[in-house]
Homo-oligomer: A and B are copies of this chain.
């Protein structure tokens, strides 16, 4: 009986599967950041060799895309009451917050566009909100691209692992800007450096919503 229990206590080698691989990858991502989600590290976690993973995943890029797709399923559903602008802002903020929880993920989200069910769901919700605001159809389609791009990039910028050095250098450069060679920077130095991330993001989203609402797309739109 004891031996039967110990046989079952920890299944020594659960069979590999795409789902299991992605789940393990999310685990490493959460604990150690995307940079550590490597084929070798993942294989180690799954008690196998890196080569075995290639049965389920084409390459590292596809693995990262699968992770993103998975996590898109965890973002809170859009609120159903309130002004459409506020709800749009809240949905995109939830998306950005999710990306910020996983160091490094946002940067990969910028390149590896997902195409899974959860991504489509997000696009669907965004289109519905813009429709509610009576934004013309063509502007809705191009607009959500802009909104998602902005939300993703904002997360990517804040997801830098050690942003200290870069930012300090930039802040110093702006503060010390020569009044004669860079008069505008000198005059604006305060505003260039102020604003909490959340304030900036909220303003950015309102800028986009206003712009999308008021800017017509070109009449001839050739296919890509």
Contact = CB atoms under 8 A, between A and B. Distances in A.
A9 interface: no
Interface stretch (A18-26, A71-79, A138-146): A138-146
B115 A169 contact: yes
Contacts of A188: 127, 137, 140-141
Interface in A117-131: 119-121, 123-124, 127-128, 131
Contacts of A182: 120-121, 123-124
For the residues of A in contact with B, the DSSP-based class is helix
A111 B160 contact: yes
Interface in A88-121: 107, 110-116, 119-121
Interface stretch (A29-37, A38-46, A47-55, A215-223): A215-223
Given A172-B115, A211-B207, A153 B149 contact: yes
Contacts of A116: 173
Nearest to A110: B156
A195 B224 contact: yes
B193 A223 contact: yes
Interface residues of A, number: 74
Interface in A126-174: 127-128, 131, 137-138, 140-143, 145-146, 149-150, 152-154, 156-157, 160, 166-167, 169-170, 172-174
Interface of A: 65, 107, 110-116, 119-121, 123-124, 127-128, 131, 137-138, 140-143, 145-146, 149-150, 152-154, 156-157, 160, 166-167, 169-170, 172-174, 177, 182-185, 187-188, 191-197, 199-200, 202-204, 206-212, 214-215, 217-218, 221-224
Given A115-B166, A203-B215, A207-B208, 4 more contacts: A110-B110, A120-B185, A123-B182, A149-B150
